[in-house]
Chains A and B, each alone.
Chain A
């Protein structure tokens, strides 16, 4: 089965600090996505990418940057973390331009900003 690995699993950061969340996929999927999930809510799209070197804004990009240096890796960067960014973050690969069409999710990163 398709594999997506996120790191770290848990992260505590201070307000104003820089946070980098990492995602690696071994499926050779072109599309990768970053979502956040808050209690009682579904998944909201932050940034996505069509392939190495590309990043696109999703529905809630403010306060986040993304980087796709290679087919396998997609990072989410919080330059100045705020308590409102406390959430669970999921990376996914797959999507409609691949034979898989399904999204495969990593195990998530629980981020707490104090």
Chain B
């Protein structure tokens, strides 16, 4: 069964810094890799997804995927206080199931 682990558990960065979040998975057959963001008291919301090895950039956010290393990451350029949230990585498994990590709690200090 798919195992998804995130690091670090929590992170505090100053405004304007580059933030890097990591996710590892166990099933090399996985095809869908995504990051979701959840502000306090709100529902998770999809941020970005990627299907093939490499990099994808959308605004200040970049995903890197390395299937051979069973690893993908999210990088946030010029981090803002509004980016403070719980970040959840998601990976597909068999039968259209999507598995989530336990999350990284990000705090961006002004």
Among A43, A96, A101, the residue within 8 A (CB) of B44 is: A43
**B49 adjacent to A101 (CB under 8 Å):** yes
Given contacts A41-B102, A42-B88, A96-B32, contact A105 B43 (CB under 8 A): yes
**B98 adjacent to A95 (CB under 8 Å):** yes
A77 to B97, CA, bound (A): 20
Q: How many A-B residue pairs have CB under 8 A?
A: 53
Given contacts A42-B88, A56-B95, A96-B32, contact A102 B46 (CB under 8 A): yes
Q: Which of B55-106 contact A (CB under 8 A)?
A: 88, 90, 92, 95-103
What A residues does B102 contact at CB under 8 A? 40-42
What B residues does A90 contact at CB under 8 A? 43-44
How many positions in chain B have a CB within 8 Å of any CB in the partner chain? 24
**A103 adjacent to B96 (CB under 8 Å):** no
**A43 adjacent to B88 (CB under 8 Å):** yes
Among B46, B97, B103, the residue within 8 A (CB) of A45 is: B97
Q: Does B107 contact A (CB under 8 A)?
A: no
Q: Which of B3-51 contact A (CB under 8 A)?
A: 6, 31-32, 34, 36, 42-46, 49
A45 to B7, CA, bound (A): 21
**A103 adjacent to B46 (CB under 8 Å):** yes
Among A31, A44, A102, A108, the residue within 8 A (CB) of B43 is: A108
Residues of A within 8 A of B (CB): 31, 33, 35, 40-45, 48, 50, 56, 58-59, 90, 95-97, 101-108
The 8 closest A-B pairs by CB, nearest first: A105-B43, A42-B102, A102-B46, A42-B100, A43-B100, A96-B96, A42-B103, A95-B96
